[in-house]
């Protein structure tokens, strides 16, 4: 339904990963998730894209009250090509934020690439499927290299759901 909503807004789906069964993040914070990555082409700015993603979430019942609360839909803008937003120093601060502060602090501006995508198997497994050669503009490593650097236990927790797209 979320993909169709984005398409109705003008997004063209260029690629889509399998859907994966993954543990909730942070671990123990709720039921497991289904995760996937889609690559889209659209005439939107990054700000317009995140606004559209949040509108789709709201249309599907998401209410943003608390960081990392249980939710049945969560759409993230992972990257826009090699863009770094709002700037390199700010992106680095958010990438290096200690875990205990990540739950407490919420950026007031769009940070690209997503500041913790390089740490999360539930992001990197489907991202490497869709865009294996995408290169993180700060870390200078491909999606495949970032995925392969994760602990094996994290990767093993991400399992494909057969026929996930229906």
Tens of pLDDT, residue by residue over 11-58, are 999 999 999 999 887 677 678 888 899 999 999 999 999 999 888 888
Phi-psi map region of 155: left, alpha, beta (phi>0 left; psi -120 to 50 alpha): alpha
What are the tokens at 156? 């093993």
Q: Give strand pairing partners of 73.
A: none
Query: Any idea what the CATH number is for the domain that residue 80 is in?
Result: 3.30.70.560
| Cα 43 from Cα 40, distance rounded (Å) | 10
Note the helical H segments in 9-138. Answer: 46-59, 88-95, 99-102, 121-130
Range of the domain at 27: 2-161
Residues 50-55: contacts with CB within 8 Å, 24+ apart?
Answer: 50/77, 50/110, 52/6, 52/9, 52/11, 53/6, 53/77
User: Residue 74 — pLDDT band, cuts 50, 70, 90?
Assistant: confident
The mean pLDDT of the chain is: 88
What are the tokens at 31? 């039921």
Residue 155 falls within a domain, yes or no? yes
The lowest-confidence range among 20-34, 56-70, 80-94 is 56-70
Residue 106 falls within a domain, yes or no? yes
18 contacts 129 by C-beta, under 8 angstroms: yes
Q: How many domains does the chain have?
A: 1
Residue 134 falls within a domain, yes or no? yes
pTM given for the model:
0.88
**Burial of residue 13 (number of CB atoms within 10 Å: 0-12, 13-18, 19+):** middle
Residue 99 falls within a domain, yes or no? yes
Residue 115 falls within a domain, yes or no? yes
Phi-psi map region of 81: left, alpha, beta (phi>0 left; psi -120 to 50 alpha): left
Residue 166 falls within a domain, yes or no? no
Residue 22 falls within a domain, yes or no? yes
């Amino acid at each position: 339904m979320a993909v169709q909503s984005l398409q109705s807004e003008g997004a063209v789906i260029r690629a889509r990963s399998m859907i994966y069964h993954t543990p909730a993040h942070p671990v123990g914070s709720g039921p497991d998730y289904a995760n996937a990555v889609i690559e889209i082409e659209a005439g939107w700015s990054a700000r317009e894209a995140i606004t559209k993603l949040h509108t789709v979430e709201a249309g599907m019942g998401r209410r943003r009250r608390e960081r990392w609360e249980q939710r049945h839909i969560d759409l993230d803008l992972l990257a826009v090509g090699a863009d770094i937003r709002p700037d390199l120093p700010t992106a680095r601060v958010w990438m290096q934020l200690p875990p205990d502060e990540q739950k407490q602090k919420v950026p007031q501006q769009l940070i690209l690439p997503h500041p913790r995508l390089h740490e999360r198997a539930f992001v990197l497994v489907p991202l490497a499927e869709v865009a294996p050669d995408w290169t993180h503009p700060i870390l200078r490593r491909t999606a495949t290299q970032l995925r392969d650097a994760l602990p094996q236990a994290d990767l093993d927790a991400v399992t494909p759901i057969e026929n996930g797209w229906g």
